[in-house]
Structure 1
Amino acid sequence: MSARYVVGDRRTPPIPDETAEVWSAFLRAEAEKWPPVFGYLADDSFGAGSTRTPLEAMSARFPEQTLPLADSEVRGYSWVTVTSSGVLERLGGIDGLRGSGAFHDITALPSGGAVLQATSRLAQYEGDAVRQVFEALGPVLPEKAPWPDEFDRFKLIYEAPRS
């Protein structure tokens, strides 16, 4: 499943908290319906392409390459990231992720995997919060660093992860 709703970019106007909360609730409800592969909710996907995540776009990768790796690697990271059961296991499970301190909310999904929400509000997902998520998900990120984004469109860390 893929859904996209563009309301501008991450600079102007800011996405209202109520809108982000409605989309977060929708994503969580959908993620509970079947075993998750990957999902995310972000305000920085504009310009990444119709089905590519910002990390895929800046790493010159496509879903055809990343989807087969869904049990061991995430396609990206964002304010809300949905993981597969294999990814959750590689990260030490719910307890391992809670110990990272990177997430405001972690919800285990009934069929495996989890929904990880970095901050209580989308507008708070900047700077240090992005760095904390990047570091917590390091073991399940691609080995190579994404190319720097000269247009500053994406909330990514432009270095190789430490696993």
Structure 2
Amino acid sequence: MQAERWPAVFGFLADDAISSGTRTPLEDVRATFPDDTLPLSDSQVRGYSWVTVTSAGVLQRLGGIEAVRRSGAFASAIELPSGGAVLQATPRLSEYEGGAIRKVFEALAPVLPAEAPWPDDFNRFKLIYEAPRR
């Protein structure tokens, strides 16, 4: 099976990504690039969105799939054969607003960059503009 040979590193589905598709909204506001964030992918996510795909290391740092499910932040949390996970915040993309974004941010706080992202003057991104509590 391909998923076992090529484990997940990171992935996302969102309606607020504006770059060429290589950077996440969080990378955009932090002025970082995949070259900066990919080496950390076993311990940190590159961002968070309606659907976030994690590596096995990130899932382990979050306490495993059952801990993620108990967080209540995700409508769906599916463990991948490689040990990572596909986390879907709400059943529909249109529901991924306000409180749902906050829940995902708080659930993923242990694996987010420690620094708060810079505010987006144009309010383009579905992000929380504060440092995560650990």
- 1:128-162 CA-partner distances (Å, limit 9, x unpaired): 00000000000000000100111111000000001
Q: Tell me the distance in 1 between the aligned counterparts of 2:24 and 2:70.
A: 26
What TM-score comes out, normalization by structure 2 length? 0.95
Consecutive unaligned residues in structure 2, runs of 5 or more: none
Q: Partner residue of 1:109?
A: 80
**Which amino acid in the other structure matches residue 67 of structure 1?**
L
Structure 2 residue corresponding to 1:160, chosen from 118, 125, 131: 131
Matched, 1:129 2:100: yes
Alignment of 1:77-116 (within 5 A): 77-116=48-87
- Secondary structure, aligned partner of 2:106: helix
Q: Does the 8 Å contact 1:31/1:82 carry over to 2?
A: no
Q: Does the 8 Å contact 1:74/1:87 carry over to 2?
A: yes
Number of aligned residue pairs: 133
Higher relative contact order (CA 8 A, sep 6+): 2
Structure 1 residue corresponding to 2:30, chosen from 49, 52, 59: 59
Consecutive unaligned residues in structure 1, runs of 5 or more: 1-29
What TM-score comes out, normalization by structure 1 length? 0.78
RMSD: 1.4
Q: Does the 8 Å contact 1:130/1:155 carry over to 2?
A: yes
Identity %: 70
Q: Does the 8 Å contact 2:76/2:89 carry over to 1?
A: yes
Report deviation, 1:32.
7.3
Report deviation, 1:112.
1.2
